Structure 1
Amino acid sequence: MSFTQKHLDAIERAIARGEKTVRYSDRTVEYRDVDELLRAREEIRSSLTSTAGPRSRVVRLSHGGKGI
């Protein structure tokens, strides 16, 4: 399944409220316990970070010349 930030937000709201039911657009998922919610959150996080691709890097350029 392809996860989005909305999926992660919904899971985190449920964890914060102590709920076991999460609604995603047209579906409702009821988790057995908080541990299962936490595992789902980690799966979504890892999926989002792996699909995000490499992070951009900051490159600093310096000039060693005499100037004007």
Structure 2
Amino acid sequence: MSFTQKHLDAVEAAIARGEKTVRYADRTVEYRTVDELLKARYQIRTSLVASAGPRSRVIRLYHGGKGL
């Protein structure tokens, strides 16, 4: 299933409210435990990061010697 940021927002809002029920559009999902809800949030985040594609890398150069 492809997730969107709205899915993640709905799950995080339910976690913040201390609920185990997530409502999105016309669907309602009730999780059995908060741990299951946290796992769902992790899965959605992982899916969103993977679908975002490759990120550019930042290379930091450090100079540990004396200045010029």
Deviation track 1:19-59 (CA, whole Å, cap 9, x = no partner) reads 0100111110000010000000000000000000012457x
- Residue identity over aligned pairs, in percent, reads 81
TM-score of the pair, normalised by structure 2: 0.80
Task: List, as ranges, runs of 4+ consecutive aligned residues in structure 1 with deviation greater than 3 Å.
Answer: none
How many residues end up aligned between the 2 structures?
A: 59
* Equivalent AA in structure 1 for residue 35 of structure 2: D
TM-score of the pair, normalised by structure 1: 0.80
User: How many Å separate the matches in 2 of 1:54 and 1:22?
Assistant: 30
Unaligned runs of 5+ in 2: 59-68
Unaligned runs of 5+ in 1: 59-68
Coordinate RMSD, CA, aligned? 1.4
* Equivalent AA in structure 2 for residue 51 of structure 1: S
